[in-house]
Amino acid sequence: MKEYVRDLSEFMQVVRRTGSVEFGLRSAVRHGGSAKLLLASSGLTQDEVARLEEAARGARGVLVHYAELSPAELGRAAGRQHPVKALAVTALGDADLDRFLESLRDLEASGAVRVIRAARRRER
């Protein structure tokens, strides 16, 4: 198993146990406004990725697009027995998002993962 898949699987176990997740592309886009994190597999078209990016920006969340993670692998890592193109983490629970994103830093530098962080508005 790839190291980053193991990290994703461990992160998702905590989220599923203590937080809230919406599975599927339509659900991810629909709940994108309240999502803390959106995850996308390599099985998405450019248009679908753009829709998720827009949802992440609206929520001021984070979109992680895996270039080499198939929908089947994302589904298994998320604890499902079927392929999952995308998912939205709406509540983190006890999961540490900063630690998870830190684990992706090397992958992001290599191009295997694209992390899109929405710009945060300044509070006045």
Each residue's pLDDT tens digit, 9-36: 999 999 999 999 999 999 999 998 889 9
Q: Is the pLDDT of residue 123 over 90?
A: no
Q: Which domains does the chain have, with CATH numbers?
A: 3-113 (3.30.1330.30)
Q: Strands 37-40 and 62-66: what pairing?
A: parallel
Structure tokens at 22: 């919406």
Distance between alpha carbon 115 and the CA centroid of its chain, in Å?
9
Beta-ladder partners of 65: 40, 114
pTM of the model: 0.90
